[in-house]
Amino acid sequence: MSSEPLKTTKGFDPEMAGKRAECDGGGQFGERYMRREEFAGTLSGDYEDHGDPAWRWYLMKDLTRKPEHYPWDSVWCEQGNLFFEGE
């Protein structure tokens, strides 16, 4: 395993900005378990690419659905886990 930091590139995609979407991902449950968690909101257009090849994450804000225990107003969603309203 490399001790070098993971390459990260930040950017903005105007075609994604303002799109209503849903995403799901894993979240910790207790100390040893994971579970699926669902979010819905509006994409800001901001993204971060991690690694090579890039693994893209979009920032979702104005959350209309989030887990009860989730304290933040935004979440990073992996591109492959995004589902767009009306598509």
User: What are the E-state strand segments in the chain?
Assistant: 8-12, 20-29, 33-50, 55-65, 75-78, 82-84
CA–CA distance, 39 with 75 (Å, rounded to integer): 8
pLDDT in tens, 47-71: 999 988 889 999 999 999 998 888 8
Read off the pLDDT band of 5 (50, 70, 90).
confident
pLDDT in tens, 18-39: 999 999 875 555 566 556 789 9
Of 48, 47, 45, 37, the C-alpha closest to 72 is 37
pTM of the model: 0.82
Domain positions in the chain: 8-84
